[in-house]
Amino acid sequence: MQLTAEERAALGKAVREAVPLESHAEVRPAAGRDPVGLLIGQTAGRVPALVPIRHGRMLVSPFTFYRGAALIMAADLAQAQSTGLAVQLCGDAHLSNFGAYASPERRLVFDINDFDETLPGSFEWDVKRLATSFVVAGRDNGFSSKRCREVTLAAVRHYREAIREFAGQPILDVWYARLDIEELVGRYKATLSSGKRKGLKAAEGRLAKAYTRNSMQAIGKLTAVVDGRRRIVSNPPLVVPMDELTDVDGPRVLAQLQDMVAGYRETLQQDRRHLLDHFRLTDVAHKVVGVGSVGTRAWIMLLESTVADEALLLQAKQAGPSALSTYAGASEHSNQGERVVVGQRLMQAASDIFLGWLRADTADGEQDYYVRQLRDWKLSADIETLNPEAMTLYARLCGWTLARAHARSGDRFALSAYLGKSDRFDNAVADFATAYADQNDRDHRALAAAAAGGRIEAHTGV
């Protein structure tokens, strides 16, 4: 039996009595916590030679450490009292996991763009991870404590207000809601005087560049014609073609991937299967990606048609259990690639037309992957160049976007009633974010000490 909107709102208010808004300010580190030990535990199943690169990237700054520390934060968040107001969590909702990409209608949209850790769970986990990321990034950019708090409050306030807006809309309107970058820039530009529009030139230049970052541009950059055949260009250790890998049987893996493309095809919509059938797999390379993902397998797959210069680059990225699964429960999906894809489709307003999953039977056992286009109008914020005003605007976009994703997958009426109209939740989460950013600084120093003392190996500058 489905509850009415009023009954769902009453549920949210009841949860607020059990878990007061002010309680979200509290940071409860896990007992006997060992952040370095948790990171070491994540090396199982990763490529051993790449693990030191992961550690080296996390050592660059507290912010790069934070990007790779989703498991550590999940362990700490699990110590707090949970609201139990379940949504599809991004699982790693820091500000660098938002960005712009092409919708199937060929519009540039802003959305969450990383779902490696997605899993159902209490909504506040995503909000707290997003809020803390703004404090950590603001400190890295030299912002004052006051400015960091202002930016963080902007993110949480816009999340709360957007949830309230979505609670007042029909579910179809919520489902169709999206941030169209061109419309957003146009509305913002209309509010500026002619003298202030010069500041938009850099942003408009980045937008123009985004439209060139498509599959054909990636093919021109990452491949070359050698002896009459197109091949992925070697750039070790970041991009290593199959025939240069020493830890895998290249021909065997290529043959396996060719077979697995057929299985991946079945996870696509019928019309997209027809589109994929124009191509065949011709080359594969291993690619190092991200910060927290370094060490997991990620394959660049070159597919070509019978038409000259008509090609497609897909990325198959290994998917293990979510970092949240120990604390939020295991996924209902046995294939971890399917877990990622289902979560992404549920949270995003529009997803890549080639988004799907596959399972590989390797010498190391079965490995799950999700597949998407390598590049399709991808655009991300240059976080380290943002001043307080620009980061505040970015925080508002992220807050609204996360709220839209949670409103799609969770109970928007219960969430709205729980959060209320006041800024009590905003301030509590801002307090948490400041305190947890301090904890993140300590954890970053612990990793540096572990590298200096030989507990872990770290390769920097890669």
pLDDT tens, 282-303?
999 988 877 777 768 888 999 9
What does the longest C-alpha to C-alpha distance in the chain come to?
A: 71
Q: Where are the domains of the chain?
A: 5-193+385-453, 214-373
Distance, CA of 337 to CA of 359 (rounded, Å): 8
Per the model's pLDDT, the better-predicted residue between 228 and 376 turns out to be 228
Quick check: 433 pLDDT over 80?
A: yes
362: enclosing H helix or E strand? strand 356-362
pLDDT tens for each residue of 96-136: 999 988 777 778 889 999 999 999 999 999 999 999 999 99
Question: Residue 358: helix, strand or coil by DSSP?
Answer: strand
Polymer length in residues for the chain: 462
pLDDT band at residue 203 under the 50/70/90 scheme:
low
Give the confidence band of 262 by pLDDT, cuts at 50, 70, 90.
confident
pTM for this predicted structure: 0.91
pLDDT of residue 455: 96
Say what percent of the chain tops pLDDT 70.
90
Of 267, 243, 264, give the one whose Cα is nearest residue 254.
243
Sign, Cα dihedral of 60, 65, 66, 67: positive
Q: Is the pLDDT of residue 206 over 80?
A: no
Q: Give dist(CA 440, CA 457) in Å, integer.
A: 20
Is 362 buried (19+), middle (13-18) or exposed (0-12) by CB count in 10 A? Answer: middle
